[in-house]
Amino acid sequence: MRFIADVQNHSILAVGSLAFDTIDTPAGKADKVLGGSANYFSVAASFYAPVNVIGVVGEDFPQDHLAWLSTRRIDVSGVQVAKGKTFHWVGTYDNRMNEAKTLSTALNVFEHFDPRLAPEHKKSPYLFLANIDPVLQQSVLDQAASNHLVACDSMNFWITGKPDELKKTLRRVDILSINEGEAQLLSGSKNMVEASHKIRALGPSVVIIKRGEYGAMLCTPKGLFIAPAFPTPTVIDPTGAGDTFAGGFMGFLAEAGAHRDMAHQNPDQWETLLRRAMLAGCTMASFTVEDFSLERLKRLNSHELVERGNQLMQMITV
C-alpha cells in the first residue's frame, strides 16, 4: 500500500558531518575510513528519495567520494570544502558491540561549521538534523521552510553540555531519534516507556528510542510499537547503524509522501506509515553492521533491501 500526499517533491535535506573514522572492533580494525552522520544517513535515505546534504570537509577529503555520492541521488552542492583537515573520530567496541567508546575526537574544520541553506535546499519538504550542536540545529530551522517534516538526533555531549539549547530545538521538531542511554539522560528515567513520554512532553510528537541489537521503540500519541532488529549473523562494525536507521526511516516517509499535517488529518494512516518506516530503518541498519564504514551500503542493491525487508515483516507477522 502506498500513501501519497500533495507534496511538490520528496527530497530530504540532511545536515550533519562527513568524517573519517578509525575503528577497532572484535572483528578487526579500520583506519581513517569514511564516516560521519550525513554520510551514513544520505546513502541510506537515497534508496528511497533524493537527498540534499549540508556539511563541511577538509582539503584531505576524497573528491571521488563526493562524486560517488552524486551518483546516488545525493546533491553535495551544500558540502563546503574548507582549508584544513576533515573531522576525525577514533573509537573502539567491546565484545558486546552495543556502544562505542570514544578514544579521541579531532573536530578540525567541523569546529567552525556554519550551515548555510541555498534557496533550492529550502524547498526540500523533509529535514533531518543529525547529531550536531543544538544551536546549529536551530540555525538550520530558522532558515528552513516552516512546513518541513523535521526529525533530529542528539547525543550525551549536548544533553549534558547544552540542555537548554537542546530543549529549544526539541520544541521545534516532529521526530526525535536517540538511543537508550541518551533517552535515560534526557528524561531522568531508566524505564524507556516512561522516558519516551517525558521526552514527548518536551516537544516532539514522535520519539524513537534505538535499542541496538534489540531494535527500536516508537512512541506516538497513539501508543507504542516495538520494531525488532534483523538477526544479522555477521556483525563487523556497528558505527553508523543509528544514522542509517534514520536514513531508512526518513527515506521511507519521504517516498510515501508523509507530511506534518497527516498526524492530525489522518492519524491512523500516519501511524501505519511510522511503523512501516521503523521496519525500513531496522532493515537498513542491519546491512550497515556487516562491514566497516560504508562498504556494505555501497554494495547494497534494491533487490537485497526489499528481500530482507520482507523477511523482517514475516518475522513479526502472526
CATH number at residue 187: 3.40.1190.20
Strands 149-153 and 175-179 come out as: parallel
* Lateral strand order in the sheet of 51-57: 74-81, 51-57, 12-15, 126-129, 149-153, 175-179, 206-210, 216-220, 223-227
Residue 314 has pLDDT above 80, yes or no: yes
- pLDDT value at position 8? 47
Percent of the chain with pLDDT over 90: 87
**Cα–Cα distance for residue pair 140/301, rounded to 1 Å:** 32
- pLDDT value at position 190? 95
C-alpha cell at 219: 512512541
Quick check: is 7 in a domain?
no
Quick check: is 3 in a domain?
no
Percent of the chain with pLDDT over 70: 97
How many domains would you assign to the chain? Answer: 1
The closest of 9, 17, 25 to 115, measured between CA atoms, is 17
Range of the domain at 270: 12-315
Quick check: is 5 in a domain?
no
**Cα–Cα distance for residue pair 86/20, rounded to 1 Å:** 7
Quick check: is 34 in a domain?
yes
Q: How confident is the model at residue 158 (pLDDT cuts 50, 70, 90)?
A: very high
Quick check: is 133 in a domain?
yes
Q: Model's pTM, two decimal places? A: 0.94
Quick check: is 29 in a domain?
yes
- pLDDT value at position 2? 30
Is-contact 208 177, C-beta < 8 A?
Answer: yes
- pLDDT value at position 9? 75
Quick check: is 204 in a domain?
yes
Quick check: is 193 in a domain?
yes
**Cα–Cα distance for residue pair 258/3, rounded to 1 Å:** 7
